[in-house]
Amino acid sequence: MEALHRPVAVCATALVTVGIAAGAAQARTENVVAAIKHQQRTLKRAAASENLKHIKIRTRAQARRAEPKFRTLASDMDVAATAVSKASTDSSAQRRGKRDWVMGARGEARGFTQFGDMLKDLAGGHRSAAKREALKAEQTVLDASRTLLRAEKLLKMKGA
């Protein structure tokens, strides 16, 4: 179980540093930067991200309880990516930034789904499969985080 704490810590760190948010799409089309900031604020307040910030998984029961939280977070991130993809852009740099942000958000959602798969393997007693899935999920989340940071730089967002 010791080897599995690091990927979960990376997952929680990605939540805090990137702060991708989930929320309903706005009725009007808003600027991409405003849409991203809105989504980030929404996710920081989301129950799934709060529950996963300080998670420690040591037993099969804890893995079973944590798995739906990762699935919920992945779903919330997909919703956020969809909301941002509908936002308007003013320049080619903003279009590239929006594309990168949506790709990064969907990548992190995919990574959190993989973390959920890892927890399912762990709960089923398949430790070697869980370790492989954890490494794959960790790499997916890290790659997506880099894409999100690149997008925030293109969009000239503070904190990027």
- Residue 93 falls inside a structural domain: yes
Residues 6+ apart with CB under 8 A from 155: 32, 33, 36, 93, 94, 97, 98, 101
CA angle 136, 23, 5 (to 5 degrees): 30
Q: Is the pLDDT of residue 18 over 50?
A: no
Instruction: Judge contact between 99 and 39, C-beta under 8 A.
Output: no
The mean pLDDT value for 144-158 works out to 92
Q: Is residue 89 part of a domain?
A: yes
pTM: 0.77
Each residue's pLDDT tens digit, 116-128: 999 999 999 999 9
> What CA–CA distance (Å, rounded) separates 85 from 103?
10
Structure confidence at residue 5 (pLDDT): 56
- For residues 30 and 140, the model is more confident at 140
Confidence of residue 20 (pLDDT cuts 50, 70, 90): very low
> Quick check: is 70 in a domain?
yes
Does residue 12 belong to any structural domain of this protein? yes
Instruction: Give the pLDDT confidence score for residue 21 in this predicted structure.
Output: 36
Q: Is residue 91 domain-resident? A: yes
Write out the residue range of the structural domain in which residue 18 sits: 2-154
**Average pLDDT in the chain:** 82
46: confidence class by pLDDT, cuts 50, 70, 90: confident
pLDDT score recorded for residue 113: 95
Q: What is the pLDDT of residue 22?
A: 35
Q: What does the pLDDT average to over 47-58?
A: 75
- What is the domain count for the chain? 1
Residue 159 lies in a domain: no
Q: Residue 75: inside a domain, yes or no? A: yes
Residue 160 belongs to some domain of the structure:
no
Residue 17 is predicted with a pLDDT of 43
What share of the chain in percent tops pLDDT 70?
Answer: 78
Q: Evaluate if residue 52 carries a pLDDT over 70.
A: yes
